[in-house]
Amino acid sequence: MGDTRIKYYNRENECSYVEERMERQFRQFKQDLEFAYNNCEYYKNLFGEDFNIDDIKSYDDIVKIPKTNKSNIVNIHKSKYPFGGMLAKGAKLKRIYISPGPIYDPEGDVEDYWNLREIFTNVGFVEGDRVIDTFSYHLTPAGIFCDEALKSIGCTMVPTGVGNTEIQIQTLKNLQVTGYIGTPSFLNMLIKKAEEAGYNWNKDFNLKIACVAGEMLPNSMRKDFEEKYNILVRQFFATADMGGIGYECYYKSGIHFSENRLVEVVNPETGEHCAPGEPGELVVSTLGNRTYPLIRLGTGDLIIHAEDECGCGRTSFRIDKIVGRVDMVTKVRGMFIHPGQVNELINKFEYIVKGKIIISRENDYDTMTFYAELAKDIPLTETYKDKILNAIRDIFKLKGDVQFVESGFIKDDDKLIDDQRKWD
Ligand SMILES: [Zn+2]
């Protein structure tokens, strides 16, 4: 792999002091706010007649501006097709994509509109890479926006699109393709099918880098890609409305946010900004978009962010963990709990095969019980139970109980947190 793939799109900005970035982004954000208010009917209505830009004096004040939830975009568009008043007056469009809903995603006629150049440079694509792009080239923007960004940093694109496994494998081999764009599971399938067809992956193919998105990348799969097949694997985070949001650098210590996205992590109850380590909703704004500015888009993703410096020297916020969706958060005795914590608890104990938490209420008091199914033939000791109780306290910052259950009690499609409290 080698360090020739350690790249910086704009090292000065990416490694600047946190305060410097905040100031730089905040300045741009204020201009965007003014632009959106004056040019997009939707924001004019949303912010209201009394809106005064001078009330927004600092990054902390941003929370006063109303959020637009991603889950609501479909209704906003529907209220007045095609873009529900979110498109800026006089914007020139290059393409319009169609996402389920339908939501119409406009593409401005602007260089690097989707903000993916920074992302693909920083994950490690280099000039001369020959890349298959296995995302769809029609309806949604994924195929085309990756294609254009990679082309613009000097890669040669092979637009293979979705499916056609055999042609993809043939192309990978005959063209000695060095780069892959797509989902991790599709890459995994290509490797497995190639091996079934009798190829020796490391000898017959030349794939050096894969940039994946669209689904979870299991650790075991990543390990295989990297160690068994010698592919540098990096994840990136992009959406059909906003384009590039974040990426993993060479040090893969979480998802760095792009310099061109103003990011907030917001407490779902109070609406205030969260401290690092505290789970909150990821709220993102585009910066400098004069076509379809997205101001405080609530993604619905519940994340935990880190802000310590990464090994690469970048100082941006990073997604440490995606812990679930905002609508999956439950409050117990004043504390938020989320499915990510239940997974953490299960994974901490080798002998726990399945688990879930049931919240109920007794004598006006919330109770939290962890139901655990253990692997067969594990002798149950008090110490084991105590260890689990301690782990519950550590992970949830709450006292809870544990119950061991027979196989079959926890179904595969059970929710990780089952809130059985009745409020009447
Ligand atoms: Zn980094």
Going from the Cα of 316 to the center of ligand 1, the distance in angstroms, rounded, reads: 9
Going from the Cα of 100 to the center of ligand 1, the distance in angstroms, rounded, reads: 33
Residue range 252-261, pLDDT digits in tens? 999 999 999 9
Q: Which backbone phi and psi does 23 adopt, to 5 degrees?
A: -65, -45
Angle between helices 184-196 and 165-174 (to 10 degrees): 80
Residues 139, 137: Cα–Cα separation, whole Å: 7
pLDDT class for 1, splitting at 50, 70, 90?
Answer: very low
Residue range 202-231, pLDDT digits in tens? 999 999 999 999 888 889 999 999 999 999
Range with the poorest average pLDDT among 104-108, 304-308, 321-325, 404-408: 321-325
Mean pLDDT, residues 72-93 taken together: 96
Task: Identify the helix (H) or strand (E) that includes residue 246.
Answer: strand 243-247
Q: Strands 179-182 and 156-158, how do they pair? A: unpaired
Mean pLDDT, residues 27-35 taken together: 98
Contact 169, 218 (CB under 8 A): no
pTM confidence score: 0.84
Q: Describe the strand order of the beta sheet including 365-374 as a list of residue ranges.
A: 401-404, 365-374, 352-362, 417-419
Going from the Cα of 108 to the center of ligand 1, the distance in angstroms, rounded, reads: 30
Mean pLDDT, residues 294-316 taken together: 93
Average pLDDT in the chain: 94
Q: What angle do CA 293, 113, 141 make, to 5 degrees?
A: 95
Going from the Cα of 310 to the center of ligand 1, the distance in angstroms, rounded, reads: 5
